[in-house]
Amino acid sequence: MTAITGKIGITKRPGELGVHSLSTFKMIVPDLAVADNFYRAFGLDVREEGDTLGLYTFGSDHRWGVIGEGPQKRMSAISFAAFEEDFEPMKRRIEGMGIRLMDAPAGFESNGIWFRDPNDFLVEIKVAEKTSPNAKVDFGAMDGSKPGNTIGSWGRAKKPEVRPLRFAHMLMFVANVPQSIEFYARVLGMRLSDRTGDIIAFMHGIHGSDHHMIAFVTANGRRPGLHHLSWDMGSINGIGLGAMQMADRGFQKGWGLGRHVLGSNYFHYMQDPWGSWSEYSADIDYIGLDHDWEAKDQPPEDGIYVWGPELPKDFLHNYEADQYDTPG
């Protein structure tokens, strides 16, 4: 919380209340061993913690994700973080809106407040460190670009292990995109970055964050759920090495390499064992705490990607909803 951003000494947007980071998510999957194998291959530091797995990035003790076991795969809870001095005012504001606060779910040690969003997702706001970036990340620094007369790449056998730098954002299928925008703006103090009509929308934190830390895509009348989790790689090379590492370990199906329009990030998505996706991402747009971003409404035919391979046919298929819908 002491990092300098934009103007010297200013680390938060004055006079406004809002979460600063998407701190942690909790997901339920039918078989923890399957998750363990996938996320290790993806390059995460997967730690066994009681009857759950903790998802970490190497070199940090911040737990980005908790994976528990249950009959059906689902995103179970999303925890956002606020500055300590903002917590009580936010709590009062939320109570004043008539939103019912709940006890922390079993198994959560929590100093936060819990409630449900319009999609029935369990949401927490707690006091925790700011894990969203405080400035545009130094893109390309991980590429290790070499001067002339030296070798820049590696032999296949000697290529480096892939290690995502941090969890970046998630995209959720939601019941109603405008309703989710309104709720996350009013209750969590986030701002709309860009949208494509009522199909998809991206939201950022007001205290300096990536172009989006959460995004919403219409579930088209089906059950809300996870579309993808995104991890920052710091470079295109990191994305490419990630996709190759996954292929080496048997995870072939993906979409990339490409570049998004909204958010501008380079990407390669890997399909996870449950049909949702994990994104290797780099160079996403950054919105500083002292900048009022002008939200665009991008036409659907021009919203998803600037360049890249054709979209997989099931990229926007809601596999999480399939578990609950009766076939036929």
Strand partners, 217: 173, 200
CB of residue 212 vs Fe ion: minimum separation in angstroms?
Answer: 7
Q: What whole-number distance in Å separates Cα of residue 229 and Cα of residue 168?
A: 8
CB of residue 228 vs Fe ion: minimum separation in angstroms?
Answer: 6
Give the footprint of Fe ion on residues 80-119 (CB under 5 A): none
User: Is the Cβ of residue 90 or residue 239 nearer to Fe ion in the bound state?
Assistant: 239
User: Is the Cβ of residue 11 or residue 271 nearer to Fe ion in the bound state?
Assistant: 271
CB of residue 230 vs Fe ion: minimum separation in angstroms?
Answer: 4
User: Is the Cβ of residue 122 or residue 171 nearer to Fe ion in the bound state?
Assistant: 171
Q: What whole-number distance in Å separates Cα of residue 298 and Cα of residue 68?
A: 37
Query: What 8-state DSSP symbol labels residue 102?
Result: B
CB of residue 137 vs Fe ion: minimum separation in angstroms?
Answer: 15
CB of residue 173 vs Fe ion: minimum separation in angstroms?
Answer: 13
Give the footprint of Fe ion on residues 221-280 (CB under 5 A): 230, 279
CB of residue 168 vs Fe ion: minimum separation in angstroms?
Answer: 7
Nearest to 160 by CA among 55, 232, 245: 245
Give the CB-side neighbour count of residue 284, counting CA atoms within 13 A.
29
CB of residue 10 vs Fe ion: minimum separation in angstroms?
Answer: 28
User: Is the Cβ of residue 130 or residue 260 nearer to Fe ion in the bound state?
Assistant: 260
User: Is the Cβ of residue 86 or residue 279 nearer to Fe ion in the bound state?
Assistant: 279
Q: Is the dihedral of CA 188, 189, 190, 192 positive or negative?
A: positive
User: Is the Cβ of residue 23 or residue 230 nearer to Fe ion in the bound state?
Assistant: 230
User: Is the Cβ of residue 11 or residue 230 nearer to Fe ion in the bound state?
Assistant: 230
Q: Residue 233, Cα to own-chain centre: how many angstroms?
A: 13
Residue 257: asked if its preceding bond is cis (omega within 30°), the reply is yes
Helix-then-strand count for the chain, H and E: 5, 19
CB of residue 281 vs Fe ion: minimum separation in angstroms?
Answer: 6
Q: Which long-range contacts (CB under 8 A, 24 or more apart) does 43-46 make?
A: 43/161, 43/162, 43/163, 43/164, 43/231, 43/242, 43/245, 44/164, 44/231
Q: Does 285 bind Fe ion (CB under 5 A)?
A: no
First to last CA, the chain: 52
Size of the site for Fe ion (CB under 5 A): 2
Q: What whole-number distance in Å separates Cα of residue 13 and Cα of residue 15?
A: 7
Which alpha helices (H) appear in 138-274, and where do they start and end? 177-186, 236-248
User: Is the Cβ of residue 64 or residue 87 nearer to Fe ion in the bound state?
Assistant: 64
**Contact track, Fe ion, 62-81, x by CB under 5 A:** --------------------
* Chain contacts with Fe ion (rule: CB under 5 A): 230, 279
